[in-house]
Structure 1
Amino acid sequence: MNQKSLVCFDLEDTLIPSGPHTRRAHSAIIAAAAAVHGVQPEAIERRFHVARAKLPSALATYSNLGLDPGEVRGILDRLDPGPGVDAVPHAGLILQCLQELNVGLAIVTNAPCQWARRLLYAAKLDPASFNVIVSSCDVSSPKPSPESFELALQRFDVGANQAVMVGDRDDVDLVPARSLGMGALLVSEQASLAVRFVELLSMVLAPLPTEVPRSVP
């Protein structure tokens, strides 16, 4: 099949917009960090916003506040996303369309595994519809390290030139994907997945580059 074989999606702010669940999770993590340092949550919140401007992801920022990834996973594993979790408009139809084109689907996220699955269920996106889910539980170095992308490609058994990454952060999602040779598509509130779907389709359906055999001396 001379087209892309796999589309990888970031989760939050790509397939699922930030909402009450995001604030609920953040508040729980800030409270835990405040308990570690013996200070009020407001003080940790201020430190978070200063550090967040300099660090590539929320997960890295929480680590900077003294919480290791295992502690963050534990907090989110005990947390219910609650009501108000919705997928971005037409996400289900877009995923279905890609599946009908025999394109594999993957999630590549810095969220912990159980939290990611709960968010998908809450947003009425069945985790079983994704061939691969790579979370922060699966790698030693989450995004923007290329490790998560490499693992997704390995699990689906495709080369980087056969895959596209869709995400809302150029530095965290797209730069590492491009560094491996993947296609990359940026989405945002103004240029949502639905708005950019035709562009995504054109990337998926574009013929793969023909490999030129190396001449033997």
Structure 2
Amino acid sequence: MRHLTVFDLDGTLVDTPRAIVETFTAAFGALGVTAPEAAAVRATIGLPLQRAFGGLLGVSPDDESVTEGVRHYQRLFREIILPRAPELCFPGVVEGLDELRALGVRLAVATSKFHASAEALLRSAGLRDRFELVVGADQVTHPKPHPESGRLVLRTLGVAAERAVMVGDTVHDIHMAHAAGMRSIAVTYGVQSPVELAAAAPTWFAGTFGEVVTLIGTNLHNAPEELAG
């Protein structure tokens, strides 16, 4: 059976955190509400939009203001982020994904973005055709860190969890991987610091996308029990 690597999107494949903060700030302006500090917005990256807006606004995720905020965000996402997508890919991502595919690794994305937004970002960045499957937060009942997204990828592609690796830049990605029975690579060039990521106990750390590719390629044929350390 071929191996599978599941990637997070924001902060892992595409360097969108700064643009996400800009988009949230503009969305709060459209709501007529004072925007939170950039650090507070960055702390929500990796969460579904409803939870992010709810937390930042201090209201329930099903509040009307959250629905309106999400609507503004999605409009502004198309205006602010999508046009910049080609230049936002992290160094080595395009070449690294092609190298993994050449090694016979199957590729998928599991993101906290809505599926349509994830598809649009991947297409704009020129990455979509490298992935067999993209799973968004609106395609599951319980998004990350719950394992449902990971399990949906595994089930849809028919891959056993022990032959899959999750790559992400937040503890939500690592917790999802653990709960789904997958190994994990925490990338330290995204949203969360190595100290924050270490608390989730990932299988490996990577400081660049090139290191991600090397880790996967080096350990591709090792038995899962040999990869615990």
- TM category, shorter: 0.7 to 0.9
Match status 1:9 vs 2:7: yes
Secondary structure at the counterpart of residue 185 of structure 1? strand
Partner of 1:172: 172
Deviation at 1:74, TM superposition (A): 3.7
TM-score relative to the length of structure 1: 0.76
Partner of 2:47: 57
Partner of 2:142: 141
Partner of 1:89: 91
Alignment CA distance shift 1:27-1:105 (3 Å): same
Deviation at 1:178, TM superposition (A): 1.6
Query: CA deviation digits over 1:40-94, x for unaligned, max 9?
Result: 432x525x96697699736323133345486565445433324433211111111
Deviation at 1:196, TM superposition (A): 3.4
Preserved CA contact (<8 Å) 2:100 2:213: no
In terms of fraction of residues, the more helix-rich structure is 2
Partner of 1:120: 122
C-alpha separation in 1, matches of 2:106 and 2:131? 7
Matches within 5 A, 1:197-216: 197-207=213-223
Preserved CA contact (<8 Å) 1:165 1:183: yes
Aligned identity (percent) is 27
Preserved CA contact (<8 Å) 2:24 2:73: no
TM-score relative to the length of structure 2: 0.73
Deviation at 1:153, TM superposition (A): 0.8
Preserved CA contact (<8 Å) 2:9 2:109: yes
Match status 1:157 vs 2:149: no
Secondary structure at the counterpart of residue 151 of structure 2? helix
Give the root-mean-square deviation of aligned CA atoms.
3.0
Q: Which moved more, 1:131-140 or 1:112-121?
A: 112-121
The answer for unaligned runs of 5 or more in structure 2 is 190-205
Deviation at 1:158, TM superposition (A): 1.3
Preserved CA contact (<8 Å) 1:7 1:165: yes
Q: Which moved more, 1:13-22 or 1:52-61?
A: 52-61
Partner of 2:181: 181
C-alpha separation in 2, matches of 1:52 and 1:94? 26
Partner of 2:209: 193
C-alpha separation in 2, matches of 1:204 and 1:70? 43
Preserved CA contact (<8 Å) 2:48 2:137: no
Q: Partner letter of residue 166 of structure 2?
A: M
C-alpha separation in 2, matches of 1:104 and 1:161? 14
Deviation at 1:102, TM superposition (A): 2.0
Larger radius of gyration: 1
Query: CA deviation digits over 1:191-212, x for unaligned, max 9?
Result: 0212332112223332456xxx
Matches within 5 A, 1:65-104: 65=57, 66=59, 68=62, 74-78=71-75, 79-80=78-79, 81-85=81-85, 86-104=88-106
Matches within 5 A, 1:26-65: 26-31=24-29, 35=31, 40-42=32-34, 44-45=35-36, 57=47, 59=49, 60-64=51-55, 65=57
